[in-house]
Structure 1
Amino acid sequence: MERSLAFYEKVIGFKVYEKTDKSAQLTADGETVLLSIEQPSDVIPKKGRTTGLYHFALLLPHRTDLAKILKHFLQTGYPLQGASDHLVSEALYLADPDGNGIEIYTDRSASKWEWNESQVVMATEALDAENLLAEGIEGTWNGLPEGTVMGHIHLHVAELDKTEEFYTKGLGFDVVSRYGPQALFISTGKYHHHIGLNTWNGVGAPTPPANSVGLESYALVLPDEASLKDTVASLKEIGASIAEENGVL
Structure 2
Amino acid sequence: MKIEKIELGPVTLRVRDIEQVKQFYVDVIGMNVLEETEELVTLGTKERSLVILHSVPQAKTNPRAAGLFHLAILLPDRVELGSILAHLIERRIEVGQGDHLVSEAFYLSDPEGNGIELYADRPKDQWTYEANGHVKMATEPVEYESMLQTAANRPFTGLPVGTTIGHVHFKVRSIEAAKRFYHDRLGFSVTTDSYPGALFLSADGYHHHIGTNVWARPSDALGVEAGLETWTLLVNEQTNQALGGTSSEWSLTDEDGITVHIKRTDA
Please give the TM-score of this superposition, normalised by the length of structure 2. Answer: 0.83
TM-superposed deviation, 1:23: 1.7
Aligned to 2:56: 40
Counterpart-to-counterpart distance in 1, 2:241 and 2:54: 31
Distance 1:74 1:241, change over 3 A: closer
Q: Which has the higher contact order (CA 8 A, sep 6+)?
A: 2
Deviation (angstroms), 1:95: 0.2
Instruction: Give 1:26's aligned residue.
Output: 43
1:217 partnered with 2:243: no
Amino acid paired to 1:38: H
CA RMSD of aligned residues (A): 2.2
CA pair 49-121 structure 1, distance change in 2 beyond 3 A = same
Distance 1:99 1:23 in 2: 19
Contact residue 65 and residue 136 of structure 1 kept, 8 A? yes
Q: Does 1:197 align with 2:212?
A: yes
Identify, as 1 or 2, the structure richer in helix. 1
After TM superposition, give the deviation of residue 143 of structure 1 in Å.
0.4
- Residues in 2 aligned to 1:217 and 1:114: alpha-carbon distance in whole angstroms: 32
- How many residues align? The count is 235
**Between Structure 1 and Structure 2, which shows a larger proportion of strand residues?**
2
What is the CA distance between 1:180 and its match in structure 2? 5.0
Where does the alignment leave 5 or more consecutive residues of structure 2 unmatched?
1-17, 246-251
Shift >2 Å, 4+ stretches:
240-243, 245-248
Contact 2:47 2:161 in 1 (8 A): no
Residue 43 of structure 1 and its aligned partner are, at CA, apart by 1.9
Q: 1:150 aligns to what?
A: 165
Query: What does the per-residue CA deviation read over 1:191-236, in whole Å, with 9 as the maximum and x for residues that have no partner?
Result: 110000111121x6202441x22100011111x2121111118xxx
Question: Which TM-score applies when normalising by structure 1?
Answer: 0.88
Change (3 A) 1:241 1:105: closer
> How far apart are 1:246 and its partner, in Å?
11
- Structure 1 residues 146 and 247: alpha-carbon distance in aligned structure 2, compared to 1, 3 A threshold: closer
- Do 2:233 and 2:262's aligned partners in 1 also have CA atoms closer than 8 Å? no
Aligned-partner Cα distance in 2 for 1:119–1:159: 21
Which of 65, 70, 75 is residue 85 of structure 2 equivalent to?
70
Distance 2:158 2:192 in 1: 32
* 1:39 Cα deviation from its structure 2 partner: 1.2
- Is the 2:232–2:263 Cα contact (8 Å) retained in structure 1? no
Other-structure match for 2:10: none
Distance 1:6 1:181 in 2: 36
* Alpha-carbon distance change, 12 to 247 in structure 1, aligned in 2, over 3 angstroms: closer
2:131 paired with 1:111: no
1:230 equivalent among 242, 248, 254: 242
